Amino acid sequence: MARRGMNPGLILFDCDGTLVDSEELGTSVLLEMAAELGLNLPLHETNAYFRGWKLDQCVEQIRIWLGRELPGDFVAQVRTRTQEVFKARLQPVPGALKVVRALHHLPMCVASSGPREKIELSLSLTGLLPYFKDHIFSGYEVGSWKPDPGLFLHAAQAMGVKPADCVVVEDSLVGVQAGIAAGMTVYAYQPEAVDPQIPEGVRILRRLEELLPALGIAAGG
Protein backbone atom coordinates (compact mmCIF):
# COMPACT_ATOMS: atom_id res chain seq x y z
CA MET A 1 0.00 0.00 0.00
CA ALA A 2 1.25 3.48 -0.80
CA ARG A 3 2.52 5.48 2.14
CA ARG A 4 0.65 8.68 2.91
CA GLY A 5 2.03 11.94 4.15
CA MET A 6 5.69 10.99 3.75
CA ASN A 7 8.02 12.77 1.38
CA PRO A 8 9.64 10.13 -0.84
CA GLY A 9 13.36 10.08 -1.45
CA LEU A 10 12.75 10.09 -5.19
CA ILE A 11 9.73 10.27 -7.50
CA LEU A 12 10.17 8.40 -10.78
CA PHE A 13 7.76 9.43 -13.53
CA ASP A 14 7.10 7.54 -16.71
CA CYS A 15 6.87 9.87 -19.71
CA ASP A 16 4.43 8.69 -22.40
CA GLY A 17 0.89 8.58 -21.09
CA THR A 18 1.93 9.75 -17.62
CA LEU A 19 3.45 13.21 -18.16
CA VAL A 20 2.73 13.75 -21.86
CA ASP A 21 -0.43 12.79 -23.72
CA SER A 22 1.44 10.95 -26.45
CA GLU A 23 0.15 7.38 -26.47
CA GLU A 24 -2.65 7.69 -29.03
CA LEU A 25 -0.67 10.18 -31.12
CA GLY A 26 2.23 7.74 -31.43
CA THR A 27 -0.01 4.74 -32.06
CA SER A 28 -1.95 6.63 -34.72
CA VAL A 29 1.26 7.20 -36.69
CA LEU A 30 2.17 3.52 -36.41
CA LEU A 31 -1.30 2.44 -37.55
CA GLU A 32 -1.36 4.90 -40.45
CA MET A 33 1.86 3.37 -41.73
CA ALA A 34 0.51 -0.15 -41.16
CA ALA A 35 -2.61 0.79 -43.14
CA GLU A 36 -0.41 1.91 -46.02
CA LEU A 37 0.84 -1.69 -46.11
CA GLY A 38 -2.69 -3.11 -46.05
CA LEU A 39 -3.16 -3.74 -42.32
CA ASN A 40 -6.06 -1.82 -40.76
CA LEU A 41 -6.34 -1.84 -36.97
CA PRO A 42 -8.61 0.05 -34.53
CA LEU A 43 -6.80 2.88 -32.77
CA HIS A 44 -8.25 2.69 -29.26
CA GLU A 45 -7.97 -1.08 -28.84
CA THR A 46 -4.50 -1.27 -30.39
CA ASN A 47 -3.26 1.63 -28.29
CA ALA A 48 -4.45 -0.12 -25.12
CA TYR A 49 -2.74 -3.34 -26.26
CA PHE A 50 0.58 -1.58 -26.98
CA ARG A 51 0.58 0.63 -23.85
CA GLY A 52 4.01 0.65 -22.23
CA TRP A 53 5.72 -1.31 -25.03
CA LYS A 54 8.89 -0.05 -26.68
CA LEU A 55 8.59 0.70 -30.40
CA ASP A 56 10.51 -2.37 -31.54
CA GLN A 57 7.99 -4.61 -29.79
CA CYS A 58 5.06 -2.81 -31.42
CA VAL A 59 6.66 -3.06 -34.84
CA GLU A 60 7.32 -6.76 -34.40
CA GLN A 61 3.66 -7.30 -33.53
CA ILE A 62 2.65 -5.34 -36.63
CA ARG A 63 4.89 -7.61 -38.70
CA ILE A 64 3.26 -10.69 -37.20
CA TRP A 65 -0.25 -9.40 -37.85
CA LEU A 66 0.67 -8.34 -41.38
CA GLY A 67 2.22 -11.71 -42.10
CA ARG A 68 5.24 -10.40 -43.99
CA GLU A 69 8.41 -8.40 -43.49
CA LEU A 70 8.17 -4.64 -43.12
CA PRO A 71 10.20 -2.17 -45.20
CA GLY A 72 13.75 -1.75 -43.93
CA ASP A 73 13.20 1.92 -43.04
CA PHE A 74 9.85 1.34 -41.32
CA VAL A 75 11.06 2.16 -37.79
CA ALA A 76 13.01 5.21 -38.94
CA GLN A 77 9.95 6.50 -40.81
CA VAL A 78 7.75 5.91 -37.76
CA ARG A 79 10.12 7.97 -35.61
CA THR A 80 10.31 10.78 -38.18
CA ARG A 81 6.55 11.00 -38.63
CA THR A 82 5.98 10.78 -34.88
CA GLN A 83 8.28 13.74 -34.29
CA GLU A 84 6.30 15.78 -36.82
CA VAL A 85 2.98 14.89 -35.20
CA PHE A 86 4.33 15.62 -31.71
CA LYS A 87 5.61 19.03 -32.77
CA ALA A 88 2.15 19.89 -34.10
CA ARG A 89 -0.12 18.32 -31.50
CA LEU A 90 1.58 17.02 -28.33
CA GLN A 91 0.16 18.28 -25.02
CA PRO A 92 1.01 17.55 -21.39
CA VAL A 93 -1.24 15.14 -19.54
CA PRO A 94 -3.91 17.19 -17.71
CA GLY A 95 -2.47 18.31 -14.40
CA ALA A 96 1.12 17.34 -15.20
CA LEU A 97 2.55 20.85 -15.02
CA LYS A 98 0.69 21.57 -11.79
CA VAL A 99 1.99 18.37 -10.22
CA VAL A 100 5.66 18.80 -11.14
CA ARG A 101 5.59 22.43 -10.04
CA ALA A 102 4.24 21.37 -6.65
CA LEU A 103 6.90 18.68 -6.36
CA HIS A 104 9.83 20.80 -7.52
CA HIS A 105 11.40 20.75 -4.03
CA LEU A 106 11.65 16.94 -4.08
CA PRO A 107 14.06 14.78 -6.10
CA MET A 108 12.35 13.75 -9.33
CA CYS A 109 13.33 12.00 -12.53
CA VAL A 110 11.85 10.56 -15.70
CA ALA A 111 12.45 6.86 -16.36
CA SER A 112 11.06 5.86 -19.74
CA SER A 113 11.44 2.95 -22.12
CA GLY A 114 11.75 5.41 -25.00
CA PRO A 115 14.98 6.79 -26.50
CA ARG A 116 16.42 9.93 -24.89
CA GLU A 117 15.82 12.06 -28.00
CA LYS A 118 12.10 11.28 -27.90
CA ILE A 119 11.85 11.84 -24.13
CA GLU A 120 13.58 15.20 -24.29
CA LEU A 121 11.53 16.33 -27.29
CA SER A 122 8.28 15.37 -25.56
CA LEU A 123 9.20 17.13 -22.32
CA SER A 124 10.46 20.20 -24.19
CA LEU A 125 7.31 20.55 -26.31
CA THR A 126 5.10 20.39 -23.22
CA GLY A 127 7.08 22.72 -20.96
CA LEU A 128 8.14 19.93 -18.59
CA LEU A 129 11.82 19.63 -19.46
CA PRO A 130 13.14 22.29 -17.02
CA TYR A 131 11.76 20.31 -14.07
CA PHE A 132 13.87 17.27 -14.85
CA LYS A 133 17.04 18.77 -16.33
CA ASP A 134 19.68 16.03 -16.31
CA HIS A 135 17.50 13.56 -14.42
CA ILE A 136 16.28 11.58 -17.43
CA PHE A 137 16.81 7.85 -17.77
CA SER A 138 16.17 5.95 -21.00
CA GLY A 139 15.68 2.22 -21.36
CA TYR A 140 17.81 2.36 -24.51
CA GLU A 141 20.77 3.75 -22.58
CA VAL A 142 20.37 1.41 -19.62
CA GLY A 143 19.58 -1.65 -21.75
CA SER A 144 16.50 -2.51 -19.69
CA TRP A 145 12.84 -2.21 -20.55
CA LYS A 146 9.74 -2.52 -18.41
CA PRO A 147 8.43 -4.82 -16.91
CA ASP A 148 12.06 -5.55 -15.99
CA PRO A 149 12.90 -3.38 -12.95
CA GLY A 150 16.41 -2.57 -14.19
CA LEU A 151 15.60 0.93 -15.46
CA PHE A 152 14.02 2.01 -12.18
CA LEU A 153 16.79 0.44 -10.10
CA HIS A 154 19.44 2.16 -12.23
CA ALA A 155 17.70 5.52 -11.82
CA ALA A 156 17.44 5.11 -8.05
CA GLN A 157 21.10 4.15 -7.77
CA ALA A 158 22.16 7.07 -9.96
CA MET A 159 20.12 9.45 -7.79
CA GLY A 160 21.51 7.92 -4.59
CA VAL A 161 18.16 6.73 -3.21
CA LYS A 162 17.19 3.31 -1.88
CA PRO A 163 14.40 1.60 -3.88
CA ALA A 164 12.21 1.36 -0.78
CA ASP A 165 12.26 5.16 -0.52
CA CYS A 166 11.15 5.67 -4.13
CA VAL A 167 7.72 6.38 -5.58
CA VAL A 168 6.91 5.34 -9.16
CA VAL A 169 4.15 7.02 -11.18
CA GLU A 170 3.11 4.94 -14.19
CA ASP A 171 0.18 4.55 -16.57
CA SER A 172 0.95 1.12 -18.07
CA LEU A 173 0.70 -2.36 -16.59
CA VAL A 174 4.30 -3.16 -17.55
CA GLY A 175 5.46 0.00 -15.81
CA VAL A 176 3.50 -0.86 -12.68
CA GLN A 177 5.01 -4.36 -12.74
CA ALA A 178 8.51 -2.90 -13.07
CA GLY A 179 7.95 -0.61 -10.10
CA ILE A 180 6.67 -3.45 -7.93
CA ALA A 181 9.59 -5.67 -8.96
CA ALA A 182 11.98 -2.84 -8.02
CA GLY A 183 10.51 -2.76 -4.51
CA MET A 184 9.13 0.76 -4.90
CA THR A 185 5.80 2.34 -3.94
CA VAL A 186 3.70 2.45 -7.12
CA TYR A 187 0.91 4.79 -8.24
CA ALA A 188 -0.99 3.87 -11.40
CA TYR A 189 -2.43 6.77 -13.40
CA GLN A 190 -5.64 5.35 -14.90
CA PRO A 191 -7.76 8.24 -16.21
CA GLU A 192 -10.21 6.04 -18.10
CA ALA A 193 -10.88 2.40 -17.21
CA VAL A 194 -8.71 0.84 -14.52
CA ASP A 195 -6.70 -2.09 -15.85
CA PRO A 196 -8.04 -5.14 -13.97
CA GLN A 197 -4.58 -6.71 -14.05
CA ILE A 198 -3.08 -4.03 -11.80
CA PRO A 199 -2.28 -5.78 -8.50
CA GLU A 200 -3.93 -4.94 -5.21
CA GLY A 201 -1.96 -2.47 -3.12
CA VAL A 202 -1.17 -0.19 -6.08
CA ARG A 203 -2.70 3.24 -5.53
CA ILE A 204 -4.92 4.28 -8.45
CA LEU A 205 -4.86 7.89 -9.65
CA ARG A 206 -7.86 8.86 -11.77
CA ARG A 207 -6.40 12.36 -12.08
CA LEU A 208 -2.67 13.07 -11.89
CA GLU A 209 -3.28 15.80 -9.30
CA GLU A 210 -4.40 13.12 -6.84
CA LEU A 211 -0.72 12.29 -6.37
CA LEU A 212 -0.22 15.48 -4.34
CA PRO A 213 -2.62 14.79 -1.45
CA ALA A 214 -1.58 11.12 -1.54
CA LEU A 215 1.95 12.29 -0.72
CA GLY A 216 0.70 14.88 1.75
CA ILE A 217 1.79 17.78 -0.45
CA ALA A 218 -0.22 20.97 -1.02
CA ALA A 219 -0.92 21.93 -4.63
CA GLY A 220 1.03 25.14 -4.17
CA GLY A 221 4.21 23.16 -3.41
Would you please indicate which residues are annotated as catalytic (active-site) residues? 14
Query: CB neighbours (10 Å) of residue 4?
Result: 10
Which residue, 183, 149, 150, is CA-closest to 166? 183
Query: CB neighbours (10 Å) of residue 52?
Result: 22
Q: What are phi and psi of 19, to 5 degrees?
A: -100, -35
Burial (Cβ within 10 Å: 0-12, 13-18, ≥19) of residue 22: buried
Distance CA 167, CA 158 (A): 15
Query: CB neighbours (10 Å) of residue 184?
Result: 25
Sorted by sequence, the CB contacts under 8 Å of residue 133 that are 6+ apart come out as none
